[in-house]
Amino acid sequence: MTDDAGDAKRATLAYARHLLAADGMRRMLLAEHRFSYAQWHIILELFISDEEQRLTSITDLTFSPVVARSTILKGVADLAAAGLVIRKADPGDARRIYISLEPTFHDRVDALLMRLMEMFR
């Protein structure tokens, strides 16, 4: 194996270890919740929307190419039942529900993401 190939293998291995450590940290910091991949996807989508100060409807979330619509709807319902997201009716359209992270939970996700960023530096 050439030095470049060996370096690439070591970098890939280090990255895989970082991903495992990041998942462990996510589970540790949010231990009281056992999030599925779909729920974590929803949380990250809502975090981005909240940070960009965009309103996000439940329908907006269902256009994900990564997670099935029914899985998104179940995930949102479970997160709402746990008090981690806030649902607000659109005053202009009774059929539309906007959703965002509960502020304290948003802060916890923010802190977690900051710690994960540090791991990858």
Dump pLDDT digits (tens) for 68-103: 889 999 999 999 999 999 999 998 998 899 999 999
The residue count for the chain: 121
- What per-residue confidence (pLDDT) applies to 105? 93
Domain that holds residue 103: 35-119
* Mean of pLDDT values over 1-26: 80
- What per-residue confidence (pLDDT) applies to 80? 94
- What per-residue confidence (pLDDT) applies to 31? 66
- What per-residue confidence (pLDDT) applies to 38? 84
Q: Which residues contact 72 (CB under 8 A, 6 or more apart)?
A: 38, 42, 58, 61, 62, 64
In a domain, 92, yes or no: yes
- The stretches of the chain forming alpha helices (DSSP H) are 3-29, 37-51, 58-61, 69-81, 103-119
> Sign of dihedral through CA atoms 41, 46, 47, 53?
positive
The CATH number covering residue 42 comes to 1.10.10.10
pLDDT score of 9 more than 90: no
In a domain, 18, yes or no: no
Report d(CA 69, CA 84) in Å as an integer.
20
Tell me which amino acid residue 32 is.
E
In a domain, 67, yes or no: yes
Which residue carries 């979330």 as its tokens?
Answer: 61
In a domain, 23, yes or no: no
Split into its structural domains, the chain has a count of 1
In a domain, 21, yes or no: no
Tell me which amino acid residue 51 is.
E
In a domain, 50, yes or no: yes
* Mean of pLDDT values over 14-26: 80
In a domain, 57, yes or no: yes
Q: pLDDT tens digit string along 25-69? A: 777 766 677 777 788 889 999 999 999 999 999 989 888 888 888
pTM equals: 0.80
